[in-house]
Structure 1
Amino acid sequence: MRNIVNPPKINIRTDLRPGDLGYVACLHGRIYNEECGYGRGFESYVLEGLAAFLREYDPSRDRAWVCEDGSQIVGFLSGVHRDHAIQLRYFILLPEYRGFGLGKKLMQSFIAYMKEIKCSRAYLWTTREQETAIALYERFGFRLREEVPSESFDKVLVEQRYDMEL
């Protein structure tokens, strides 16, 4: 892990390239295991979801934001089309890139994309222990709608659904 003192110059691109989603899966598996104790069940869940996202990816209805510092992916967020909403998924930042406003910038881009495609509803799933991320989601208008006990990620936790309407 690098110790970053000054805000880095991050490039955010919206085109998916070979290897991007594999690396995003790796980040999720590693970071969520280290920070939350999520096991292989979580990594499997992420891999399955990312594979479906790639299979069904439609650049006119889906969007990915890939954050790069040089050639290194340091963050990611996707907007996945659903019947009457867009699902915010796979939001992740390397720990050393947090606290510089990058999460806020990604959320602003997500909201701008919703407006661009004229989609007024969004939702996401997270876990109760993701307090920092939840605070960011709530600042952008997401509200808790559902809680479900779960052991899907190799530990007991509560999954939460947040919805937002523009």
Structure 2
Amino acid sequence: MAMRMNDQDGFAMTVRTEVRPGDLGGIIALHGTVYAGGLGFDPGMEALVARPLAEFFLARSDRERVWIAERAGRLAGCIAIVRADEETAQLRWFVVHPDARGAGLGRTLLRDAIAFSRVAGYRRIVLWTVDSLHSAIRLYLAEGFRLAEQKPGPVWGVDVAEQRYDLDLV
């Protein structure tokens, strides 16, 4: 499955759900570079992404999916839905490269993930983020997520407040 759209500079962007060679490493690297550059996170962020991403890929369930966005042949963003339990999906690995922002890619990825979760039969979606990701949080709130938990403290080399957002689907 692939979807096409254009960014604000007219570059074609493609969103697909098929995982290809290099995608897993690219997703890990994208998280590392985006969050190190924007928030000062250390390589622990990449480790947090790497292990569960590998487990997700190796398990391959029809109730789980990853969306991979490409812009000009390069990884531009991603998002995934993974099973937390029978009734709960967890939204993971949501990131959009700064060069691909502003064209609605993040909103498109988020809405696709929510729609998929409904079709897959989940009753709710949970996600963890940090309070400094203001644009992402605005997207979550606009789609109906609500703040459910907050834990301040040092994570990945910086002080942040980790936040859990929940969305009821039924």
The reply to whether TM is greater than 0.5 is yes
Distance 1:7 1:142, change over 3 A: farther
Where do residues 7-156 of structure 1 align in structure 2 (5 Å cutoff)? 7-58=10-61, 60-83=62-85, 84-156=87-159
How much does 1:140 deviate? Answer: 0.6
Task: Tell me if the contact between 2:150 and 2:161 (Cα under 8 Å) persists in the aligned partners.
Answer: yes
Task: Tell me if the contact between 1:42 and 1:154 (Cα under 8 Å) persists in the aligned partners.
Answer: no
Any unmatched runs of 5+ in structure 1?
none
Give aligned-pair identity as a percent.
36
Q: Which amino acid aligns with 1:98?
A: R
The normalised TM-score by structure 2 is 0.89
Give the whole-Å Cα distance in 1 for the aligned partners of 2:150 and 2:90. 17
Aligned residue for 1:10, secondary structure, equals strand
Q: Which amino acid aligns with 1:48?
A: R
Any unmatched runs of 5+ in structure 2?
1-6
Task: Tell me if the contact between 1:127 and 1:160 (Cα under 8 Å) persists in the aligned partners.
Answer: yes
The normalised TM-score by structure 1 is 0.91
Give the whole-Å Cα distance in 1 for the aligned partners of 2:168 and 2:41. 30
Give the whole-Å Cα distance in 2 for the aligned partners of 1:140 and 1:69. 25
Number of equivalenced pairs: 162
Aligned residue for 1:82, secondary structure, equals strand
Structure number with the higher strand fraction is 2
How much does 1:120 deviate? Answer: 2.2
Give the whole-Å Cα distance in 1 for the aligned partners of 2:28 and 2:99. 18
Q: Which amino acid aligns with 1:39?
A: D
Which range moved further: 150-159 or 139-148?
A: 150-159
| CA displacement 1:125-164 (0-9 Å, x = unmatched) | 0001111100001101110000112323111211000000
Task: Tell me if the contact between 2:11 and 2:72 (Cα under 8 Å) persists in the aligned partners.
Answer: no
Q: Which amino acid aligns with 1:69?
A: R
Moved over 3 A (4+): none
Give the whole-Å Cα distance in 1 for the aligned partners of 2:99 and 2:38. 13
Taking only aligned residues, the RMSD between alpha carbons, in angstroms, comes to 1.5
Give the whole-Å Cα distance in 1 for the aligned partners of 2:10 and 2:92. 25
